[in-house]
């Protein structure tokens, strides 16, 4: 092998390695904004529902809830860009492998377990008991709070039927769930359902 050919191979190898390194490292430093997620047509309904939700109104990024904390998890999420591009061009169903359902830790970054009433104030819902004693994940009850109307789980508020799975024997006791105020009717409408 001649000296010129060897130099050419080394130069080609150096260029290829530089390009691969550049492609692997650059995404780690790119800020990933929610509008980026909308780039994949499968994610557009999720982006649109997020945008009108309370989380979208205060601009909480997708990765705040869907990516576990830590450099490695963030790096995997950003490197997932290449997987998504490949899925788009190969017309394969996108299955993001660095994205998770929100965890209790992610929810607790902004929300407290000390809440004992619904946001409207008329329902008694002790969040700490539901999480610590019943071992429920936040998404068990609040599966559609950020993405209302999207997918089979996209409900904004937990349906009464969900509460009845655990509290069916209490449906005739209005005071068990409701903050009883003067003038409330004593008849339960839930028993007939």
Share of the chain above pLDDT 70, in %: 80
Q: Which residue has the higher pLDDT, 9 or 82?
A: 9
Report CA-CA distances (Å) from 76 to 31, 98, 100, 116, 166: 14, 6, 12, 37, 38
Model pTM score: 0.65
Which residue has tokens 């979208």?
56
Show contacts of 154-161: CB within 8 Å, 24+ apart: 154/49, 160/190, 160/193
Instruction: Give CA–CA dist 118/87, Å, rounded.
Output: 41
pLDDT in tens, 60-104: 888 888 888 888 887 777 777 777 777 777 777 766 655 678 888
Residue of 151 and 107 predicted with greater confidence:
107
Average pLDDT over residues 9-13: 88
- In total, the chain counts a number of residues equal to 193
Question: For the chain, where are the alpha helices, taking DSSP H only?
Answer: 3-29, 34-37, 44-52, 54-57, 62-66, 71-90, 104-108, 127-128, 138-141, 160-167, 174-177
Task: Examine the pLDDT at 168 and tell me if it is beyond 70.
Answer: yes
Report the C-alpha gap between 78 and 72 in whole angstroms.
Answer: 10
Low-confidence winner among 31-35, 134-138, 180-184 (lowest mean pLDDT)? 180-184
């Amino acid at each position: 092998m001649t000296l010129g050919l060897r130099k050419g191979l080394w130069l080609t190898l150096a260029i290829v390695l530089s390009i691969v390194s550049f492609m692997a490292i650059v995404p780690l430093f790119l800020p990933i904004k929610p509008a980026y997620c909308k780039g994949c047509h499968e994610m557009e309904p999720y982006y649109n529902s997020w945008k009108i939700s309370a989380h979208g109104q205060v601009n909480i990024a997708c990765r705040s809830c869907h990516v576990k904390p830590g450099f490695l998890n963030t790096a995997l999420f950003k490197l997932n860009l290449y997987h998504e591009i490949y899925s788009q061009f190969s017309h394969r169903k996108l299955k993001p492998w660095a994205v998770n359902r929100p965890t209790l830790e992610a929810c607790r970054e902004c929300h407290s377990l000390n809440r004992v009433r619904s946001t409207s104030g008329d329902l008694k819902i002790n969040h700490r008991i539901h999480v610590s004693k019943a071992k429920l994940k936040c998404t068990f009850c609040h599966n559609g709070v950020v993405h209302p109307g999207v997918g089979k789980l996209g409900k904004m508020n937990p349906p009464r039927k969900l509460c009845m799975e655990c509290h069916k024997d209490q449906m005739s006791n209005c005071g068990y769930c409701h903050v009883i105020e003067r003038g409330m009717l004593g008849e339960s409408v839930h028993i007939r359902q």
